[in-house]
Amino acid sequence: MQEKQAWAGSGREPFAGAVADGAAEPQEPMTVSILLRRRSQEEFDRRMALVHAGTSVPALSRADFAREFGADPAQIAIVRGFAQEHGLRVVAEHAERRTVVLAGTVAQFNAAFGIQLQCFRHARGSYRGWTGPLQLPKAMHGFVESVLGLDTRPQARAHFRIRENVVARAASASFTPLQVAAMYGFPAGDGHGQTIAMIELGGGFTASDLASYFANLGIATPPSVVAVGVDGAANAPTGSASGPDGEVMLDIEVAGAIAPGASIAVYFAPNTDAGFLDAITTAVHDTTRAAHIVSISWGGPESSWSAQAMTSFDQAFQDAVALGVTVCVAAGDNGSSDGVASGEHVDFPASSPNVLACGGTNLQGNGSTIAKESVWNDGTGGGATGGGISANFALPTWQSGLSAKLSSGASETLAKRGVPDVAGDADPQSGYNVLVDGQSIVVGGTSAVAPLWSALIARINGARGTPVGFVNPALYTALGAFNDITQGNNGDFAAAKGWDACTGLGSPKGAAVLATLTK
């Protein structure tokens, strides 16, 4: 038996308010994902530094990435030996994703990691978890990045708001995705040849709803939409528009209407940190569908994540950067607090410096003309765009020297990653007309902005003939490519000229964004 040591930082505290409900059933079957560090880390870090500095670095093919920066086969073998020692089965090895998936019982994983898995009851649902650090063999301390799947708490929330669930104002309006794209001056094109991967943690879509929706918009050839199951999840519509189906259909219909020439692959996974990450790494490294863009409309406050999980997610987004894949992520719908009882919090994974964080506005206009645009903030009951300053991620090169304007009128120089990067229509009061479970509804939330920007990137990629990849450094040097939002606040932060912690650089002037990314 290999000697084990406590792995610093590997513990998880229960949800606030969770009630312990006894030991987990010893014979309950479960799976766990072990994430390994990549080979040639120094060389990979050098590439990332160049990309973040705005230097043009050719994207790697998925085959080249796996060979150069995947997991070391010798380290996978050590994990295999650890599993054998504890009677665990290796059910999958993904060198390119640096992931080894183990299966066994609660009792076996308790023994393997020196913990006692417990059951917890909470308002968000019952889950399995533990407290205290994991115990790992000395040989594994140097290369294991995270162990996910032991804790099964619901990790993320969908960032959409149905207007019927929010008190409508007299000035309320609604738009089709094509009308929003027209007001933002999106360049011509349909995203032909592009693949948009969407990450979903519940719910599903129906082909009949999609066919009806796109036909009613006059789209003769709708996008190809395929469901991909991850970790046992599948396309599973609930029949309730207010549930996760609302998120799934919003994502597909917004992106698919604007970029109908693109293929859309919807990756369904369990709503746990392990499931969420496995969906992202599967989408990023999928050689069959080979996504050019990943759209994510789920997340939660940074404070609700383990340090291990955030590191592994950020590493997955770095993989996307290296592969030339653009990742668009919703910035959250609960203002500067992100729904936490006190203080300022930003949403993760939007706060990763390797994604394009998408905030929200209220959009008023007609045809191709914007009459007014301000920060989305409908108050505590109606939601507001997320945004603020990360407590976990260092200040990116491309945000150096920026300040966040506070609602008090003061300014705070960014010392860490600022969120969001960009914005778009998100207010349910100026929301999107969508069809969910046979019901025509108006939906908003920053969940709409991630697929909106994903569709814009798909059109731009199609016009360029090559993927733009990681766009943040270029966008931060092209303020003329945005409608600068200078009115409103999201709680503690206020809109301001230039970048702000409510709407980032602003909403897109689509043709100008294309010109910026084609230089």
Q: Which residue has the higher pLDDT, 187 or 21?
A: 187
Please write the tens of the pLDDT for every residue from 477-487: 987 999 999 99
Please give the pLDDT value at position 166.
66
Q: What is the pTM of this model?
A: 0.97
Please give the pLDDT value at position 105.
98
pLDDT above 90 covers a percentage of the chain that reads 89
Q: Is 338 strand, coil or helix?
A: coil
- pLDDT band, residue 10 (cuts 50/70/90): confident
Query: Counting Cβ atoms within 10 Å, is residue 142 exposed (0-12), middle (13-18) or buried (19+)?
Result: exposed
Cα of first residue to Cα of last residue in the chain, in angstroms, is 59
Q: Is 83 strand, coil or helix?
A: helix
Please confirm, yes or no, whether 247 is among the known catalytic residues: yes
**Rounded distance between C-alpha atoms, residue 144 and residue 79, angstroms:** 9
- pLDDT band, residue 15 (cuts 50/70/90): confident
CATH architecture of residue range(s) 157-516: 3-Layer(aba) Sandwich (3.40)
Please write the tens of the pLDDT for every residue from 42-69: 999 999 999 999 999 999 999 999 999 9
Greatest alpha-carbon pair distance for the chain in Å reads: 70
Bridge partner residues of 223 (DSSP): none
Q: What is the DSSP string of 240-309?
A: -TTTHHHHHHHHHHHHHHH-TTSEEEEEE--SSHHHHHHHHHHHHH-TTT--SEEEE-EEEEGGGS-HHH
How does 49-84 read in b/e, with b if 16+ C-beta sit within 10 Å?
eebbeeeebebbebeebbeebbbbeebbebbeebbe
Is pLDDT at 390 greater than 90 in this prediction? yes
Is pLDDT at 175 greater than 90 in this prediction? yes
From the candidates 447, 454, 492, 507, which is the catalytic residue?
447
Is pLDDT at 167 greater than 80 in this prediction? no
**Nearest alpha carbon to residue 447 among 367, 386, 512:** 386
- pLDDT band, residue 72 (cuts 50/70/90): very high
- pLDDT band, residue 14 (cuts 50/70/90): confident
* CATH 3.40.50.200 intervals, the chain: 157-516
The identity of residue 121, as a single letter, is R
Please write the tens of the pLDDT for every residue from 36-46: 999 999 999 99
Section 138-160 average pLDDT: 94
Bridge partner residues of 357 (DSSP): 329
- pLDDT band, residue 170 (cuts 50/70/90): low
**Nearest alpha carbon to residue 447 among 198, 125, 197:** 198
Please give the pLDDT value at position 11.
84
Please confirm, yes or no, whether 500 is among the known catalytic residues: no
- Mean pLDDT over each residue of the chain, to the nearest integer: 95
Section 351-367 average pLDDT: 97
Please give the pLDDT value at position 8.
83
Please write the tens of the pLDDT for every residue from 196-239: 999 999 999 999 999 999 999 999 999 999 999 999 999 999 99
Please write the tens of the pLDDT for every residue from 75-118: 999 999 999 999 999 999 999 999 999 999 999 999 999 999 99
* Structural contact between residues 164 and 153, judged by C-beta atoms closer than 8 angstroms: no
Q: How far, CA to CA in Å, does 296 sit from each of 24, 247, 452? A: 32, 10, 11
From the candidates 190, 251, 421, 492, which is the catalytic residue?
251
Please confirm, yes or no, whether 373 is among the known catalytic residues: no
* Structural contact between residues 157 and 246, judged by C-beta atoms closer than 8 angstroms: no
Please, what sign has the CA dihedral across residues 298, 302, 304, 307? positive
From the candidates 247, 273, 437, 492, which is the catalytic residue?
247
Is the previous residue joined to 467 through a cis bond, with omega within 30 degrees of 0? no
- pLDDT band, residue 13 (cuts 50/70/90): confident
What stretch of H or E contains 199? strand 195-200
What φ, ψ does residue 11 adopt, rounded to 5°? -80, 160
Please write the tens of the pLDDT for every residue from 233-263: 999 999 999 999 999 999 999 999 999 999 9
Please write the tens of the pLDDT for every residue from 290-321: 999 999 999 999 999 999 999 999 999 999 99
**Rounded distance between C-alpha atoms, residue 489 and residue 491, angstroms:** 6
Please give the pLDDT value at position 440.
95
